[in-house]
Structure 1
């Protein structure tokens, strides 16, 4: 069995302004504190990665950029460590490509372990919503 590297490549990041606009226009969302997750099925051709992700932390609540960057780094790390086991196999089995935005809505900076548990919960809720 080949060991898959836990990476977070450029192709997995949601950068296209058109795709971001379409994601926020007509999409599904749910709240799992401290995350607000907005997702939409991507109708474009099949890509190497089944999910493209956008991560944000609010400037209104966290004035210092070091705090926002810490939050975004922790979210990226939890996503990177858990996507291969919990999210990608499900999406590949269902032949789905999704656009995903994870917005941090917490009032304080949480510990990494808590954020990781919540990210696993996000993946489970996504699977329930995608499966219908």
Structure 2
């Protein structure tokens, strides 16, 4: 079962207008490196759900935004075990907003995301 840990399934993606609005209205946030991280305790039992946002204001071309979202998603997939989560407890809604104006390398994004995930892991749930 070692392979399932590194998956990124559909139910780990934060969807639904009400959930996303709740995350941005009621959720707490912090800035770390080139990311703004918003988080909110979810009401439903299940895995942590994430949302990745790359502002159009900073990257006009969709190709660049999609590249960054893929890199962030991959970094999260490989390091998501840094946030404690079990299926019996309620998970977190997490929003990653990319703030840099440059396209960073995967290694750079991954190292910053690891710091964000470690900080999320220390937050009292």
Structure 1 length-normalised TM: 0.87
What is the deviation of 1:130? 2.7
Q: 1:92 Cα deviation (Å)? A: 2.6
Q: 1:86 maps to what in 2?
A: 82
Deviation at 1:80, TM superposition (A): 0.6
Normalized per residue, the structure richer in strand is 2
**Displacement of 1:91 after TM fit?**
2.5
- What is the aligned partner in structure 2 of residue 75 from structure 1? 72
Distance (Å, rounded) in 2 between the aligned partners of 1:123 and 1:96: 17
Contact 2:79/2:114, CA 8 A, preserved across alignment: yes
- Determine if contact 2:34/2:99 at 8 Å carries over to the other structure: yes
Any gaps of 5 or more consecutive residues in structure 1?
none
Q: In structure 1, what is the Cα distance between the partners aligned to 2:2 and 2:14? A: 26
Match of 1:100 among 89, 94, 102: 94
Q: Count residues with an aligned counterpart.
A: 124
Question: Where does structure 2 lack aligned partners over 5 or more consecutive residues?
Answer: none
SS in 2 for 1:53: strand
Runs of 4+, deviation exceeding 4 Å: none
Structure 1 vs Structure 2 CA RMSD: 1.7
2:29/2:39 contact within 8 Å kept? yes
Q: Secondary structure at the match of 1:43?
A: strand
Aligned partners of 1:130 and 1:110: how far apart in 2? 31
Residue 111 of structure 2 is aligned to residue 117 of structure 1: yes
> Which has the higher mean CA deviation after the structures are superposed, 118-127 or 93-102?
93-102
